[in-house]
Amino acid sequence: MSTYNLEVLSSEECGIPYTLSKMGGKWKPLILWFLAKNGTKRYGQIRRFIPGVTNKMLSQQLKELIADKLIRRKDYETVPPKVEYSLTKEGETLVPILDLMCDWGFKRQ
């Protein structure tokens, strides 16, 4: 890892836009935080935790998080179908950020 001075980074060099492109938005942080705090969960459990999200949006957000390798999807070959979601090692690196976001918002709402 190279060293850098955060005070002199330009907006193009700063990692915030990249971070937000992977885990930002209204639902992704909640999905990530829920999985971080509760472990492996099924779609319906995630959906109940975020009552304001539509099925279409939740499915889209889960697919994007999988594509970005922040969560994994495990399919069980059963009838009825069973699918579980969990954080990857890469997703786990976001937990300190998510905890800070949760704490900051909780103290100010």
Question: Other C-beta atoms within 10 Å of 26: how many?
Answer: 11
Give me the torsion for CA of 60, 65, 66, 72, rounded to 10°.
-120
Quick one: pLDDT at residue 9?
A: 79
Beta strand ranges found along the chain (DSSP E)? 41-42, 71-76, 82-87
Each residue's pLDDT tens digit, 1-46:
457 777 787 877 788 888 988 998 899 999 999 999 999 999 999 9
Per-residue pLDDT at 61 exceeds 90: yes
Averaged pLDDT of the chain: 92
The CATH topology of domain 13-98 is Arc Repressor Mutant, subunit A (1.10.10)
Per-residue pLDDT at 94 exceeds 60: yes
